[in-house]
Chains A and B, each alone.
Chain A
């Protein structure tokens, strides 16, 4: 992503906050949504985006974050079901061109891909990375993308 993009990140945990900090450092416009305002402490001093306290499964909150204008939505809360709902709303209701869901449970993650969502499963991604590292890697499914 070299050009300027508008990114909405739902969930400001370790993944969400790191992603927000890095995208902001690249000069992208970022809005981070989290239910717990204390989680925004993980955003760096240089973070120049917006933080929004709210529930990412609530359409009013997503609309407040101007999700309809987003080029990318990342759902990275700690709950799989929340990420799946956010990603589906972004993808199917708000027609966001790129949507990524983080889903911990591998079975749920593969179901998510059946729903047409780009899904990252940390367990699969780690397994892929380990296999790749030791030279046994062949089938990658950690962040496979379905169209």
Chain B
């Protein structure tokens, strides 16, 4: 897979390192000559010095062969233009913008560009972790549109000692897997949830709260009536 990444800074460096480790071919487009020099020494990637919003420069960087274009500059309008050029002028199949201002997620969406804001994802993670001690990991997938939650079931939680069928989970939420005494179990409707089970919950962000409550009960800190 060939990925073209426009932008700079530490996030770009670490993302590229990861893409390269997974065997992708990576091209970086960066405006800053010094940073380009540094990146070309640090990464086994093609580094092109130039402005990613310039269609001529994008073409020089081989955008036509790219499977994915990722725009992660600190400047949201640049990210928009880079993605639109890649998709519309150069027919790149997947273009993704990482926006700095979370409000631009919807603005970009309306202009036909897939976008997500890292600040929103991080803020969501922190809020949810802070709210539930028993939740040990939360993984946003699909640009944060799917959430995987790992819950250590306590005896006083409403889901304990009940079968999956009896749980009143909202739509778009699924208990995908249990880990019981070190063994992974793919549960069926009749499977009982027991205290100390680790429950893997998959949910959409809009149903994440209700789904968690169905399993863990009221939020911590709130009065239980």
Q: Which residues of A contact B (CB under 8 A)?
A: 57-60, 79-82, 84-85, 88-89, 92-93, 105, 107-108, 111, 114-115
Contact = CB atoms under 8 A, between A and B. Distances in A.
Interface stretch (B84-92, B171-179, B184-192): B84-92
Interface in B53-102: 53-56, 75-78, 80-81, 84-85, 88-89, 101
A-B interface, 6 closest residue pairs, ranked by CB to CB distance from nearest: A81-B77, A85-B77, A81-B81, A82-B77, A81-B78, A107-B55
Contacts of A89: 107, 111
Nearest to A77: B77
A27 B174 CA distance: 62
B110 interface: yes
A9 B168 CA distance: 53
**Consensus secondary structure, chain B interface:** helix
Given A80-B81, A81-B81, A107 B56 contact: yes
Interface residues of B, number: 20
Interface of B: 53-56, 75-78, 80-81, 84-85, 88-89, 101, 103-104, 107, 110-111
Contact of B54 (A59, A82, A107, A115): A107
**Consensus secondary structure, chain A interface:** helix
A115 B103 contact: no
A10 B77 CA distance: 14
A3 B85 CA distance: 37
B75 A81 contact: yes
Contacts of B89: 111, 114
A92 B54 contact: no
B80 A81 contact: yes
Contact of A57 (B56, B77, B84, B85): B77
